[in-house]
Structure 1
Amino acid sequence: MDVRALLDRAEITDTVVRMGWCLDRRDWAGLRALFTDRVRTDYTALWGGEPQEGPVDQLLSTSAQGSWRRTMDGLEATQHLITNVLVDVEGDEARTTANVVGVHRLANPHGSPLWTVGGTYDIRLVRLSTGWRIRAITQDLAWVEGNQQVLFRAAMRHAA
């Protein structure tokens, strides 16, 4: 493996891991910088429905239904552990697969304050002049534990 390939792998892995880090710290500007202007998200394994594609600013908005920010800002805390990142690079495009465990916390009157999801991410990236950026995320579900009301109540709490 040449030095360029190693540098690509390191930057791609850093981008993927940084996504969880920024999300947990509500660093919306830092998170925005990791994505292309349009992003495709597929959480159908968890929620059903259809994959979504649109401007990343919609995904990170405070008002859009189903946006990350609207939900995450309503939680007391989260921790997304993204590990075992495998990277495949072909030219200016890359695909990673990684394990993910997301813990979501919000005290509520409907049971446990925790909702935890385990599974994998399939993340597609593209090399831009500014570096590697995420253009698509698909979550595959392995297990869920706890109170799903945590996420629903968080989205309602932020909207109020």
Structure 2
Amino acid sequence: MPTSPAPIPTPADAPADPARDQIQIAQVLYRLARAMDTRDWDLLATCFIPEAVGDFATGQAVGLDSMLLDYKAFLPPLDTTQHLVTNIETAIDGDTAEATAYFLAQHVRADTEGGDQFLIGGRYDDRLTRTTEGWRITRRRVTGSWTQGNPKVVGTTLDRRENG
């Protein structure tokens, strides 16, 4: 009688493997960037726990629903975006982690007075927790360090969120 294969352990009960954890955390950050650029709100939701907190240029969003409202207000008016994530450093402590990563975020909106592009460079500071579905962000702080181009490209998207 053949034996059934051993179940694949879920992230919560898998043996400790810091290298695997670092890769999985990086994958969450990359997945979030792809979700923003493709406007895939379901994919974006898989990056956070329901109680997540976001500290953004528009203020603080508490809870996944509030964060999704911010992303949905900010990104769709733009023709395209490209978020590049790099230099990821992680500090893992059991089922929690801190991650810091640099980003370059290109924002494009055609026919914007003063130019169609706005580039932001900065840092993501994330707290994560290991769940049964894998690593998820519990808090994200976005800190812009520099910009290049026309801030009007994103300016009206920020105004749009603030004005409902």
Q: TM-score, normalised by structure 1?
A: 0.83
What letter is aligned with 1:88?
A: A
Query: What is the aligned residue count?
Result: 149
Which stretches in structure 1 are left out of the alignment for 5+ residues? 62-66
Q: Contact conserved, 2:35 with 2:41, CA < 8 A, in 1?
A: yes
**How far does the alpha carbon of each residue in 1:33-67 deviate from its partner, in whole angstroms, 9 at most, with x for none?**
11010222223xx56xxx51412122113xxxxx1
Q: RMSD across aligned C-alpha pairs, in angstroms?
A: 2.3
**How far does the alpha carbon of each residue in 1:78-110 deviate from its partner, in whole angstroms, 9 at most, with x for none?**
000001111110011101111100010002342
Matches of 2:30 and 2:112 in 1, distance apart? Answer: 33
Matches of 2:124 and 2:19 in 1, distance apart? Answer: 21
Match of residue 49 from structure 2? 36
Q: Contact conserved, 1:74 with 1:157, CA < 8 A, in 2?
A: no
Identity across the alignment (%): 30
Which stretches in structure 2 are left out of the alignment for 5+ residues? 1-14
Match of residue 141 from structure 2? 138
- How far 1:156 moved relative to its partner? 6.3
Does 2:25 align with 1:17?
A: no
Match of residue 56 from structure 1? 64
Alignment match of 2:97 (pick from 94, 98, 103): 94
Q: Contact conserved, 1:20 with 1:80, CA < 8 A, in 2?
A: yes
**How far does the alpha carbon of each residue in 1:95-143 deviate from its partner, in whole angstroms, 9 at most, with x for none?**
1111100010002342111111001111110111111001111122221
Match of residue 64 from structure 1? none
1:67-78 maps to which residues of 2 (within 5 A)?
67-78=70-81
Q: Contact conserved, 1:108 with 1:150, CA < 8 A, in 2?
A: no
Q: TM-score, normalised by structure 2?
A: 0.82
Structure 1 residue ranges (4+ consecutive) displaced by more than 2 angstroms after TM superposition: 152-160
Matches of 1:105 and 1:129 in 2, distance apart? Answer: 37
Does 2:85 align with 1:82?
A: yes
Alignment match of 1:104 (pick from 103, 107, 110): 107
